[in-house]
Structure 1
Amino acid sequence: MEFPFAPQGWPGRLTGKEAIAAYMRHYPDHIDLHDFPEVRIHQTTDPETIVVEMRGVGRLVETGNPFDMTYIAVVTVQDGHVTSYRDYWNPLAVLEPGVGFAGSAQ
């Protein structure tokens, strides 16, 4: 997994299942993600790569405030396995006071 827009103190790259699992382990403690109401998948000229636009909605566990994040991911698959996932999320949304979640410097 790569996070090209990761803010300082956040990981820019995770390698291997264990690193990804550790990064995501505490995500539910911070964000109660309810749904992805908007998902658009775009094919590319590379048959093993797609671009996904998605919007995740839920609530922030600590404050109860709504969570609404738009993502764009570039996903590469080979032999049925994800080999690359570049997540272009908006780091400004998590830099607001009280919003930190998995992988944050908080």
Structure 2
Amino acid sequence: MVPDNLSPNAQLALRALACASERNLEGFRSCCAADIVLDFPFHPNGAQSHHGVEEMIREFSVEKVFETFRIDAQEVLDCGDRIIIEGRSHGTYRSGRPPYDNHYIFIMTCKDGNVTHWKEFYNPLEALKQNYGKPRPEKQAGA
């Protein structure tokens, strides 16, 4: 459940998540510090860290494989400068692969009206499991 009486930092973190989810790049930039740090502690390719809002936007460009993609906040824990958001994603692939659903935990640090640190936890096995052993759509002749 997302409370109604959220602090400005929690509202900012939710706005940043919504902008990223909606691919609203200008809105996303306006929420983040230029030197924001993005951490993926459990990335399928090993722990990763990215620095700067432009690098973060490039990292999120993987979402281009989706026709639709959305992360909806389920719960928010407002801890002052640190905001914890539990969310669920749903996406449909452009290629016609089965839909993508996952569970996320975001820990965002906010300072001076900007998100300065974005730590994203999700289940990388879920992404693999949802597509493991499922046939990819047949390519059309001439495609």
Normalised by the shorter chain, which TM-score bucket?
0.7 to 0.9
Q: Tell me how far apart the structure 2 counterparts of residues 4 and 35 of structure 1 sit (CA, whole Å).
A: 19
**Residue in structure 2 matching 1:54, options 87, 91, 98:** 87
> What letter is aligned with 1:24?
F
C-alpha displacement of 1:57: 1.1
Match of 2:124 in 1: 91
- 1:81 is aligned to 114
How does the TM-score come out when normalised to structure 1? 0.75
Unaligned runs of 5+ in 1: 99-106
Long gaps (5+) in structure 2:
1-37, 133-143
Amino-acid identity (%): 24
Contact 2:104-2:122 at 8 Å conserved across structures:
yes
Letter in 1 for 2:127: V
**Contact 1:31-1:67 at 8 Å conserved across structures:** no
Q: Which has the higher contact order (CA 8 A, sep 6+)?
A: 1
Tell me what 1:33 maps to: 69
Look up the match of 1:16.
Answer: 52
How large is the Cα RMSD of the aligned pairs?
2.1
Counterparts of 2:126 and 2:112 in 1: how far apart (Å)? 35
Deviations along 1:51-105, one digit per CA (max 9) or x if unpaired, are: 100001121222341111110010100001001110011111233457xxxxxxx
Conservation of the 8 A alpha-carbon contact between 1:39 and 1:52: yes
- The number of residue pairs the alignment matches comes to 94
Q: Greater helix share, 1 or 2? A: 2
For the structure 1 residues 20 and 42, does the alpha-carbon distance in structure 2 shift closer, same or farther, using more than 3 Å as the test? same
